[in-house]
Amino acid sequence: GAGVSQTPSNKVTEKGKYVELRCDPISGHTALYWYRQSLGQGPEFLIYFQGTGAADDSGLPNDRFFAVRPEGSVSTLKIQRTERGDSAVYLCASSRDTYTEAFFGQGTRLTVV
Protein backbone atom coordinates (compact mmCIF):
# COMPACT_ATOMS: atom_id res chain seq x y z
CA GLY A 1 0.00 0.00 0.00
CA ALA A 2 0.92 3.65 -0.17
CA GLY A 3 1.38 4.08 3.55
CA VAL A 4 1.54 2.25 6.85
CA SER A 5 -1.81 0.67 7.57
CA GLN A 6 -3.03 -0.20 11.05
CA THR A 7 -6.12 -2.22 11.89
CA PRO A 8 -8.46 -1.85 13.59
CA SER A 9 -8.56 1.92 13.87
CA ASN A 10 -10.50 1.60 17.11
CA LYS A 11 -10.78 -1.28 19.55
CA VAL A 12 -12.86 -1.43 22.71
CA THR A 13 -12.27 -4.43 24.94
CA GLU A 14 -13.13 -5.53 28.42
CA LYS A 15 -10.56 -5.68 31.18
CA GLY A 16 -8.85 -9.04 31.21
CA LYS A 17 -9.40 -9.81 27.54
CA TYR A 18 -6.75 -10.51 24.90
CA VAL A 19 -6.28 -8.16 21.93
CA GLU A 20 -4.25 -8.15 18.74
CA LEU A 21 -3.32 -5.03 16.84
CA ARG A 22 -2.09 -5.30 13.26
CA CYS A 23 0.40 -3.23 11.31
CA ASP A 24 1.03 -3.42 7.55
CA PRO A 25 4.23 -1.53 6.79
CA ILE A 26 5.14 0.13 3.54
CA SER A 27 6.19 -2.52 1.05
CA GLY A 28 9.93 -3.13 1.11
CA HIS A 29 10.52 -1.50 4.49
CA THR A 30 12.69 -3.75 6.60
CA ALA A 31 12.45 -1.84 9.87
CA LEU A 32 9.21 -1.69 11.86
CA TYR A 33 8.50 0.08 15.14
CA TRP A 34 5.69 0.09 17.68
CA TYR A 35 4.99 3.08 19.90
CA ARG A 36 2.31 3.81 22.49
CA GLN A 37 0.79 7.26 22.93
CA SER A 38 -1.17 7.85 26.11
CA LEU A 39 -3.59 10.75 26.31
CA GLY A 40 -1.81 14.09 26.40
CA GLN A 41 1.64 12.60 26.01
CA GLY A 42 4.17 11.97 23.29
CA PRO A 43 4.59 8.51 21.82
CA GLU A 44 6.81 6.08 23.72
CA PHE A 45 8.89 3.39 22.08
CA LEU A 46 7.80 -0.20 22.63
CA ILE A 47 9.64 -2.50 20.25
CA TYR A 48 11.62 -2.47 17.03
CA PHE A 49 11.98 -5.15 14.34
CA GLN A 50 14.69 -5.46 11.75
CA GLY A 51 13.31 -8.06 9.36
CA THR A 52 11.68 -10.86 11.31
CA GLY A 53 13.59 -10.44 14.53
CA ALA A 54 12.87 -8.14 17.43
CA ALA A 55 16.07 -6.09 17.57
CA ASP A 56 15.05 -4.18 20.69
CA ASP A 57 12.03 -4.85 22.92
CA SER A 58 13.20 -2.76 25.85
CA GLY A 59 10.14 -0.53 25.72
CA LEU A 60 7.56 -3.27 26.30
CA PRO A 61 6.07 -2.44 29.72
CA ASN A 62 5.68 -6.02 30.98
CA ASP A 63 5.30 -9.61 29.84
CA ARG A 64 1.63 -9.12 28.93
CA PHE A 65 2.86 -7.38 25.80
CA PHE A 66 4.32 -9.31 22.90
CA ALA A 67 4.88 -8.58 19.21
CA VAL A 68 5.71 -10.73 16.21
CA ARG A 69 6.69 -10.21 12.60
CA PRO A 70 6.96 -13.75 11.26
CA GLU A 71 7.58 -13.02 7.59
CA GLY A 72 9.33 -9.70 7.92
CA SER A 73 6.36 -7.70 6.74
CA VAL A 74 3.11 -7.55 8.73
CA SER A 75 3.48 -7.23 12.48
CA THR A 76 1.03 -8.00 15.27
CA LEU A 77 1.16 -6.49 18.73
CA LYS A 78 -0.49 -8.78 21.27
CA ILE A 79 -1.70 -7.75 24.69
CA GLN A 80 -2.84 -10.37 27.20
CA ARG A 81 -5.08 -9.77 30.22
CA THR A 82 -5.69 -6.18 29.26
CA GLU A 83 -5.86 -3.54 31.98
CA ARG A 84 -7.49 -0.11 31.94
CA GLY A 85 -4.01 1.44 31.98
CA ASP A 86 -3.33 -0.14 28.58
CA SER A 87 -5.80 2.30 27.01
CA ALA A 88 -3.85 4.40 24.53
CA VAL A 89 -3.20 4.93 20.84
CA TYR A 90 -0.79 2.32 19.52
CA LEU A 91 1.30 3.62 16.63
CA CYS A 92 3.26 1.65 14.09
CA ALA A 93 6.01 3.05 11.89
CA SER A 94 8.22 1.59 9.19
CA SER A 95 11.37 2.66 7.41
CA ARG A 96 13.39 1.36 4.49
CA ASP A 97 16.26 0.77 6.83
CA THR A 98 17.25 1.87 10.29
CA TYR A 99 18.78 5.15 9.12
CA THR A 100 16.05 6.58 6.91
CA GLU A 101 12.82 8.37 7.68
CA ALA A 102 10.20 6.41 9.57
CA PHE A 103 6.62 6.73 8.30
CA PHE A 104 3.81 6.40 10.81
CA GLY A 105 0.39 4.83 10.52
CA GLN A 106 -2.70 6.52 11.93
CA GLY A 107 -2.70 4.28 14.95
CA THR A 108 -5.12 1.99 16.75
CA ARG A 109 -7.02 3.57 19.60
CA LEU A 110 -7.41 0.90 22.29
CA THR A 111 -9.91 1.44 25.06
CA VAL A 112 -10.09 -1.04 27.91
CA VAL A 113 -13.33 -0.81 29.89
Partner 1 sequence: AQSVTQLDSHVSVSEGTPVLLRCNYSSSYSPSLFWYVQHPNKGLQLLLKYTSAATLVKGINGFEAEFKKSETSFHLTKPSAHMSDAAEYFCVVSDYRNAGNMLTFGGGTRLMVKP
| Residues lying near partner 1 in the complex (CB under 8 A) | 3-4, 31, 33, 35, 40-45, 48, 50, 55-56, 91, 93, 95, 97-107
For 77-92, give the DSSP string: EEESS--GGG-EEEEE
Shortest CB 17 distance to partner 1, Å: 25
Shortest CB 32 distance to partner 1, Å: 10
CB of 82 or CB of 108, closer to partner 1: 108
CB of 29 or CB of 86, closer to partner 1: 29
Shortest CB 43 distance to partner 1, Å: 5
CB of 20 or CB of 44, closer to partner 1: 44
Q: Which amino acid is at 29?
A: H
DSSP-derived 3-state class of residue 5: strand
Instruction: Give Rg (Cα) of the chain.
Output: 13
The per-residue b/e assignment along 60-85, b for 16 or more CB within 10 angstroms, e otherwise, is: beeeebebebeeebebebebeebeee
CB of 20 or CB of 57, closer to partner 1: 57
